[in-house]
Amino acid sequence: MEEPKSFLIVGLGNPGPEYEKTPHNMGFLAIDRLAERHGIRVTRKESRALVGIGKINGASVVLVKPQTFMNLSGQSVKSLLEAHSLSVKDLILVYDELALPWMQIRIRPKGSAAGHNGVKSVISLLGTDEFSRLRLGINPGHPMDASQFVLAPFRRAQSEELDSFISQAAEAVESIIANGVEKSMTVYNRRAEGK
């Protein structure tokens, strides 16, 4: 019999109430939604992160919200992979993506950081970009100062759609766990293009 899989699911964001409802915290919001859907409490302090351990679709999962601030996220990720005897192939990284339109989802088995400081930190500390990631589109479709936009509270129009977007993100992670990256890509990446 095949051993049940284990995953380290890391949402990128910034700690602190002032960042809670901002585009740069999409990763945290997705982790919160997964925790809520599967009765996992993400409250344990470990490796400069908030951690919750539980099961999703029969797989053991460690849900993670690094508390290091975005550009040092790799420190927590590396430390937690080691602490839980997991490898880079067991990692699913969830984060906001300014290069994608609002509410578009992209699943990838690997790839560059594309200018995202949190992802840069993870790649640099792990020494590889070969890990699964779920990119959540936050581009509002109008010109903006990127550094200010990602840390500013969601606008009203986005706030109204946020709940459904976060649910889709959680479903995409559940799909990766149950069906793998390749199958999930065919479902979620195609669906995104239809928006």
CB 42 within 8 A of CB 54: no
Residue 24 annotated as catalytic: yes
Residue of 24, 38, 116, 142 marked active site: 24
The residues carrying an active-site annotation are: 24
